[in-house]
Amino acid sequence: MLFACLIATYLIYKGRSIIGPFPHETWVNPQTGQTVQGILDIPVTSASTFVLLMSSLSMVLAHNAVVHRRQPKTTTAQRILGSSKLWLFMTALLGVGFLCFQAYEFTAFVHEGLKLSTNLFGSSFFTLTGFHGAHVTAGVLWLLILLAIDMKRGLQPEDAASVDIAALYWHFVDVVWIAIFTLVYLIR
């Protein structure tokens, strides 16, 4: 519901900013004469979307590894697939990668003159994507706690439900981003 309201707010304010920078349209700053192209960087965001999608894949592989912990692993492939530590670490790493992309994007926007208080687009965009980033950060911390438990005593099939709950949260963050990516970045 939180994200539904934030997405709705973004869509309501879309195209209603009086001054730029704008998400897709070119804008000439009347004070400096500087031309700012559409501020959204689709290639960078596409890369961050890919990173988040792959983190969901590594999360399910981590859960799968915990569920099948006691199955014998004879081949290298089975040992790699059965390493919950590896997949939990990969998921956290990809989550951090996504946050780095977001930090880069926010920094670039501020340098181009878009801040939280610049216009309606800035306010709704930073609030929506910022809240999502905060959820990703919470997810990364959760994953690191699970990884620490796994390192200390090893996650067993009995712990599968705990890993599953973390995985459900992580996939929720992913599906919210799927909606944001399309509605904010790809649709003008």
Partner 1 sequence: MAQHTSVSGHTAEAAHEAEHHPTWQTYVKIGVLLTLITAVEVSAYYIPAWETSRIYVPSMLILSAIKFIMVVAFYMHLKYDAKIFRALFTGPLMLAMITIIGLLFLFGQLSIHLGIT
67-72, Cβ contacts within 8 angstroms, sequence gap of 24 or more: 67/157, 67/160, 68/157, 69/154, 69/155, 69/156, 69/157, 70/156, 70/157
Q: Which is nearer to partner 1, 147 or 167 (CB)?
A: 167
Q: Is 90 in the site for partner 1 (CB under 8 A)?
A: no
Distance CA 141, CA 118 (A): 32
Contacts (CB under 8 A) with partner 1, residues 68-87? 68, 81
Q: Is 165 in the site for partner 1 (CB under 8 A)?
A: no
Q: Is 57 in the site for partner 1 (CB under 8 A)?
A: yes
Out of 19, 36, 44, 67, the residue judged to bind partner 1 by CB under 8 A: 67
Q: Contact region for partner 1 (CB under 8 A) — 96-104, 106-114, 138-146, 172-180?
A: 172-180
Contacts (CB under 8 A) with partner 1, residues 128-147? none
Q: Is 154 in the site for partner 1 (CB under 8 A)?
A: no
Q: Which is nearer to partner 1, 113 or 177 (CB)?
A: 177
State the residues that interact with partner 1 by CB under 8 A: 1, 3-5, 7-9, 11-12, 14-15, 42, 46, 49-50, 53-54, 56-57, 59-61, 63-64, 67-68, 81, 157-158, 160-161, 164, 167-168, 171-172, 174-175, 178-179, 181-183, 186-188
